[in-house]
Chain A
């Protein structure tokens, strides 16, 4: 994929400046562990409590460009709390979050967005009645003209949507069609492609496959791989170890708010991942599903 994203240097510079501002130091300052420098985003035993409830405890993970980090866990495992910490909605109250090697606290979702962390929520990503291209550029519409004649650059918007989705292998029938006419997988792709186009360094995907059928899930996993190949760091939140194993480079398993396992891809086999995730009685069912 040699097709260039417009103004990548501007976006990178902006992200760099925002990161520097957040860490409160100029470039080069600070004394983080050397390994943290190599990762764009690192969590070290991060925890969060709400009153007496321990929602998250001792979670460590690395996220980097061109890498997929999977967070696995059943309902109530603390996945949503983790997303909210990563996207700046909540602040961790133990452990440390590093951005580009520097300890960082996101004060708000805007802080996270400013350092290039984009979150794609499953149902809250697109507006069904609006056309694909209007959805794609929403909030950052290209404009032309000036003063009272400043207007949407419709041709540019349609071209951006068509080109960017094309890079994810989606051949857009008509950029003007309502996005509600796209399949669930394609809608996810629009949200991912949009985040990538607007300069995301890290894309957090919240259960992107949970509402989809087998074929559609496969498509979404392909989009994840494409994003990774384009140098994006991906955090894939899922409860499906099969999906995670297909694309993941690192796996973090959460249970009841605690991190129970952490593997790199080469350290773990699929059976192991499934077993750790499900355990005991459910294993047989899942093995059956796996065999199919």
Chain B
């Protein structure tokens, strides 16, 4: 009875491995009349990250045409906006993971400042070795992320409130401590630290060619690969989607909801430490206001890339495409000869229209899911 049933491509052959199998064996080999064949273009278009990619192309073409300096499409120009995108993108990846798990972190922007300042103060005011200071920064970041996560899961307050509080506390500390220790609102002299040459190579170098990409772009690609791996290929990734989709149902099936959420807060803080360090090394100094307001860039990037505000859906690739759009816009506006503050207006418009495009494309191509 096993002979003669046509196997469709991709159907595991184990389905009819038992000789004389029971009558109840599911007829997996038969193509299903309820399953309408979806053309490839439709299946591709329904993915939200694809509409983010389309939006990225539109933004690229727009600023290539608006460019008055001829830099935007030049190797040096591309490397510049890729560098800016990388610092948004590393954070957007982490923030999208957190948002998929159903929470939000408003302290993520200020944390890139706090971590950079801590690093700067430790090496310039206390004379620490760069790598020792970097280790301390990582410990600090894990601590802040852990605190955010525990406060959210224990108090059951919305993460919006808890991390808004963290953000303001850190914002005050950034200015206050920096001013008290250095007498200025800026920490400099990071390049004089012991261990800086290696740090410069790891966090602040560029490719020695016309395409002078910063090493931050490499870090970004690494974070994308790691984030995608975790999200799509590990149990923990399954849990991230589950706790964001429905925390109660996840708990009922035995998913460690609290641990998953707290881990994602830690991921965001650690990503902030990485970005803070990269900024500090690249610029060799950190201002007390560094990163303030950037938390919204990361959220915009994640949402533009198809991450659901309510959790349960999204991707690291999508968030990275969102970050790329913001990066191109930030520098594209300068190359177009407009005042750089216009970027805020663009970010707002991009946020709105990218989300509209996401929904429209999904409805058109996929039918309502």
A residues lining the B interface (CB < 8 Å): 1-3, 113, 119, 121, 124-130, 134, 137-141, 143, 150-152, 154-155, 159, 162-163, 165-167, 169, 171-174, 178, 180-181, 194
Q: How far is the CA of A163 from the CA of B28 in the complex (A)?
A: 9
Name A166's contact: one of B26, B235, B246 (CB within 8 Å). Answer: B26
- In the bound complex, residues from chain B placing their C-beta under 8 Å from that of A119 are 252
Query: Does the CB pair A2–B22 fall under 8 Å?
Result: yes
CB-CB under 8 A for A150 and B234, given A127-B312, A134-B241: yes
B245 CB-CB contact with A under 8 Å? yes
17 contacts between A and B (CB under 8 A): A3-B24, A3-B25, A119-B252, A124-B252, A125-B252, A129-B241, A129-B313, A130-B238, A130-B312, A134-B238, A134-B242, A138-B253, A139-B239, A139-B253, A141-B238, A154-B233, A171-B26
CB-CB under 8 A for A124 and B249, given A138-B255, A152-B233: yes
- Whose C-beta in chain A lies nearest to the C-beta of B310? A129
Query: Does the CB pair A124–B34 fall under 8 Å?
Result: no
Q: How far is the CA of A139 from the CA of B26 in the complex (A)?
A: 25
Q: How far is the CA of A62 from the CA of B22 in the complex (A)?
A: 32
- In the bound complex, residues from chain A placing their C-beta under 8 Å from that of B229 are 151
Query: Does the CB pair A128–B246 fall under 8 Å?
Result: yes
CB-CB under 8 A for A138 and B242, given A150-B234, A155-B12, A159-B14: yes
Q: How far is the CA of A143 from the CA of B237 in the complex (A)?
A: 12
Query: Does the CB pair B245–A129 fall under 8 Å?
Result: yes
- Contacts beyond the supplied A127-B241, A154-B233: 15 A-B pairs with Cβ under 8 Å: A119-B252, A125-B252, A127-B246, A127-B249, A127-B250, A134-B242, A138-B238, A138-B255, A150-B234, A152-B234, A152-B237, A165-B26, A166-B26, A181-B369, A194-B253
CB distance from A126 to the nearest CB of B (A): 6
- In the bound complex, residues from chain A placing their C-beta under 8 Å from that of B234 are 150-152
Q: Which 10 A-B pairs have the closest CB atoms?
A: A166-B26, A127-B245, A139-B254, A139-B253, A151-B233, A141-B235, A173-B35, A127-B246, A129-B312, A138-B253
- In the bound complex, residues from chain A placing their C-beta under 8 Å from that of B158 are none
Q: Is the interface of B mostly helix, strand, loop or mixed?
A: loop
B127 CB-CB contact with A under 8 Å? no
Name B22's contact: one of A1, A128, A137, A169 (CB within 8 Å). Answer: A1
- In the bound complex, residues from chain B placing their C-beta under 8 Å from that of A139 are 239, 250, 253-255
Name B245's contact: one of A3, A128, A173, A174 (CB within 8 Å). Answer: A128
Query: Does the CB pair A166–B25 fall under 8 Å?
Result: yes
B70 CB-CB contact with A under 8 Å? no
Query: Does the CB pair A3–B246 fall under 8 Å?
Result: no
- In the bound complex, residues from chain B placing their C-beta under 8 Å from that of A143 are 235
Query: Does the CB pair A1–B24 fall under 8 Å?
Result: yes
Interfacial residues of chain B within 205-255, with CB under 8 A of chain A in the complex: 229, 233-235, 237-239, 241-242, 245-246, 248-250, 252-255
Query: Does the CB pair A3–B27 fall under 8 Å?
Result: no
B339 CB-CB contact with A under 8 Å? no
Name A167's contact: one of B26, B233, B238, B312 (CB within 8 Å). Answer: B26
Query: Does the CB pair B249–A126 fall under 8 Å?
Result: yes
CB distance from B312 to the nearest CB of A (A): 5
- In the bound complex, residues from chain B placing their C-beta under 8 Å from that of A154 are 233
1/0 per residue, CB under 8 A from A, across B26-56: the answer is 1110001011000000000000000000000
- In the bound complex, residues from chain A placing their C-beta under 8 Å from that of B252 are 119, 121, 124-125
Interfacial residues of chain B within 310-329, with CB under 8 A of chain A in the complex: 312-313
- In the bound complex, residues from chain A placing their C-beta under 8 Å from that of B254 are 113, 139-140
Query: Does the CB pair A163–B246 fall under 8 Å?
Result: no
Query: Does the CB pair B22–A163 fall under 8 Å?
Result: no
Q: How far is the CA of A289 from the CA of B361 in the complex (A)?
A: 45
Name A125's contact: one of B12, B27, B249, B308 (CB within 8 Å). Answer: B249
Q: How far is the CA of A99 from the CA of B235 in the complex (A)?
A: 33
Interfacial residues of chain B within 60-101, with CB under 8 A of chain A in the complex: none
Query: Does the CB pair A138–B250 fall under 8 Å?
Result: yes
1/0 per residue, CB under 8 A from A, across B248-274: the answer is 111011110000000000000000000
- In the bound complex, residues from chain B placing their C-beta under 8 Å from that of A140 are 254
CB distance from A33 to the nearest CB of B (A): 33
CB distance from B199 to the nearest CB of A (A): 25
Q: How far is the CA of A129 from the CA of B245 in the complex (A)?
A: 7
- In the bound complex, residues from chain A placing their C-beta under 8 Å from that of B250 are 127, 138-139
Q: How far is the CA of A140 from the CA of B32 in the complex (A)?
A: 29
- In the bound complex, residues from chain B placing their C-beta under 8 Å from that of A167 are 24, 26
Q: How far is the CA of A130 from the CA of B18 in the complex (A)?
A: 31
Query: Does the CB pair A127–B34 fall under 8 Å?
Result: no
CB distance from B58 to the nearest CB of A (A): 27
Specify which of B229, B237, B249, B369 lies most central, judged by the most chain A CB atoms within 10 Å of its CB: B249
Specify which of B238, B239, B248, B369 lies most central, judged by the most chain A CB atoms within 10 Å of its CB: B238
Specify which of B15, B35, B254 lies most central, judged by the most chain A CB atoms within 10 Å of its CB: B254
- In the bound complex, residues from chain A placing their C-beta under 8 Å from that of B15 are 163
1/0 per residue, CB under 8 A from A, across B172-186: the answer is 000000000000000
CB-CB under 8 A for A163 and B26, given A124-B246, A130-B241: yes
CB distance from B28 to the nearest CB of A (A): 6
CB distance from B23 to the nearest CB of A (A): 9
- In the bound complex, residues from chain A placing their C-beta under 8 Å from that of B313 are 129
- In the bound complex, residues from chain A placing their C-beta under 8 Å from that of B35 are 173-174
- In the bound complex, residues from chain B placing their C-beta under 8 Å from that of A137 are 238
CB-CB under 8 A for A171 and B241, given A1-B22, A129-B312: no
Query: Does the CB pair A152–B238 fall under 8 Å?
Result: yes
